[in-house]
Amino acid sequence: MCQMGNNSLLFKCCITLFIFFHCLLCVICQNCTGPSCGRGAPSPTSPPGGNLTFEDRRIAVVYQVIQDFKKKITEDPQGITKTWVGPNICKGYTGFYCDNPPDNASAVALASIDFNGYNLAAPTLEGFIDRFPDLALFHANSNNFTGIIPSNISKLPYFYELDLSNNDFSGEFPQSVFGIKDLAFLDIRFNGFSGTVPAQIFVQPLEVLFINNNKFLQKLPDNLGNTPVFYLTFANNRFTGPIPPSIGNASETLIEVLFLNNKLSGCLPYEIGLLKEATVFDAGNNLLTGPLPFSLSCLEKIEQLNFAGNLLYGQVPEVVCELGSLLNLSLSDNYFSIIGPTCKKLVDSGVLDLRKNCIHGLPEQRSATECWWFSMYRNHWPCQYPPWYTTCIPCKAPSHPVHGHQHPRPKLGSKRKLLSYAALSRHGL
């Protein structure tokens, strides 16, 4: 029914009528121009699949969409598309999943597509994901899809998860995602996206935003902290500039954030200490400088705290070493020169890595000459904050347990699966 003719307006009309009037009026729209014309008015038993019988009208409408896309697939090393034959889409087609749509519990609709790891190649997803009226999820990790993300994907009323990770997409950040009202999960890591990440994405009500391993090149947007996401990965791009103080605005929501392997510079804002839900904060391998803010001692839930491979200096605050949930504090490859007894204990227990710094008496430190040169030249990387920023502790009662009464730390090996770190591998989460 409602075969797409040359006129896409007519087709849209058909879709609308189909959805709202259950096709009773569809015949009005019928304007046969295509080769499959001449069957007369549609009925549930003569849908677009010719004489195929589908379990629901909503399945019948997507049959042709799948067949059209099948023709566009240029590589299918696992023979996935061989299963895309006949009317039994819900049970027989690899990668397609049906469910009862939210608007009718007795109907059956195509609700999700999961092509993770199928290595399919196609020049575009246009005319595909945007033509499943009931689609909620599209997951396509590790394929060779390319082209642009269809802009009218935003018209799909139930759509909320888009995973295009590890494909061949390139060009600008996909603008079409801004229109998707209920989008909660956006994963475009491991593609060739370049240019800038529009500030708009940080006001979208997402829960997960993975943009690591692309070629984004820009100063981190100032409104970054307005994002309500729980998991956020900027890693392995070319972001520059300081971590914006607005990060503190994410205090109620941000659980894991990865800035590692970029070109971030400047001092750390004390507002990082406001992230009371954070379990992972990783800004390793950047050009961050200045002292470590004492405010980090407010990160009561932090387990993984990484600033290795930067230009940080001064003392490692004892209050940070007292954090009760810390499993891994990685400060290696910086220019710290002072530690106290609590931090020393953490070094001894393997939680704190301070190799390649400038601390007298610790093994595997930088040479005295290297440390001297750094101290001479460190003013080349000026700190943008006044000195009191370093010692400001913005939480009421920082979690320093009284010495000798420390909670037993979870064992090092007891590392649970962390979603943001899993996103650093190319493959599915």
Ligand X SMILES: *[C@@H]1O[C@H](CO)[C@@H](O)[C@H](O)[C@H]1NC(C)=O
If the CB atoms of residues 369 and 414 are measured against ligand X, the closer one turns out to be 414
Nearer to ligand X, 22 or 238 (CB): 22
Q: Nearest distance from residue 404's CB to ligand X, in Å?
A: 25
330 binds ligand X (CB under 6 A): yes
Q: Which two tokens stand for residue 33?
A: 């121009």
| Closest separation in Å from C-beta 248 to ligand X | 7
Using CB under 6 A as the binding rule, whether residue 226 contacts ligand X is answered as yes
The residue of the chain with the least Cβ separation from ligand X equals 246
Quick one: which of 76, 222, 277, 318 contacts ligand X (CB under 6 A)? 222
Task: Write down the least CB distance from residue 382 to ligand X, Å.
Answer: 21
CA distance 245 to 184: 24
Binding track over 288-327 against ligand X, x by CB under 6 A: ------------------x-x-------------------
Asked if 155 touches ligand X (CB under 6 A), the answer is yes
246 touches ligand X by CB under 6 A: yes
- From 2-10, 172-180, 204-212, 314-322, span contacting ligand X (CB under 6 A): 2-10
Number of H helices, E strands in the chain: 9, 22
DSSP 127: T
Nearest-Å Rg of the Cα atoms of the chain is: 27
Q: Which range, of 127-135, 231-239, 266-274, 368-376, touches ligand X by CB under 6 A?
A: 127-135
CA 346 and chain centroid, separation: 32
Q: How far is CA 410 from CA 184, 187, 304, 398, 401, in A?
A: 32, 31, 12, 20, 16
192 lines the binding site for ligand X (CB under 6 A): no
Question: Where in 291-394 does DSSP place strands (E)?
Answer: 304-306, 311-315, 328-330, 335-338, 352-353
Report, in Å, the least distance between residue 100 CB and ligand X.
Answer: 9
* Residue (7 or 375) nearer to ligand X, CB: 7
Report the alpha-carbon distance of residue 162 to residue 154 in Å, rounded: 11
Q: Which is nearer to ligand X, 6 or 369 (CB)?
A: 6
Cα separation, 132 vs 153, whole angstroms: 9
Task: Answer whether 207's CB lies under 8 Å from 184's CB.
Answer: yes
Stretch that binds ligand X, among 152-160, 229-237, 339-347, 396-404 (CB under 6 A): 152-160
Contact 174, 197 (CB under 8 A): no
Task: State CA 41 to chain mean position distance.
Answer: 46
Judged by DSSP in three states, 309 sits in coil
What are φ and ψ of residue 168, in 5° steps? Answer: -110, 30
The correct pick among 40, 50, 192, 340 for binding ligand X (CB under 6 A) is 50
**C-alpha separations of 128 from 61, 68, 71, 96, 149 in Å:** 12, 8, 11, 13, 10
Which of the ranges 66-74, 141-149, 268-276, 333-341 carries the binding residues for ligand X, by CB under 6 A? 141-149
Shortest distance in whole angstroms from residue 127 CB to ligand X: 5
- Round to the nearest angstrom and report the end-to-end CA distance of the chain: 39
Please give the helix or strand (H or E) that residue 288 lies within, else none. Answer: strand 287-290
User: Does 187 help bind ligand X (rule: CB under 6 A)?
Assistant: no
The interface with ligand X within residues 406-425 (CB under 6 A) comprises 412
Query: Which residue in the set 54, 57, 113, 165 belongs to the binding site for ligand X (CB under 6 A)?
Result: 57
Residue 353 pairs with which residues in a beta bridge? 330
22 touches ligand X by CB under 6 A: yes
| Contact between 134 and ligand X per CB under 6 A | no
Instruction: Tokens for 194, please give them.
Output: 């370049």
For ligand X, the binding residues (CB under 6 A) are 6-8, 22, 31, 33, 50-52, 56-57, 104, 106-107, 119, 127, 130-131, 142-144, 152, 155-156, 166, 222-223, 226, 246, 249, 282, 284, 306, 308, 328, 330, 412
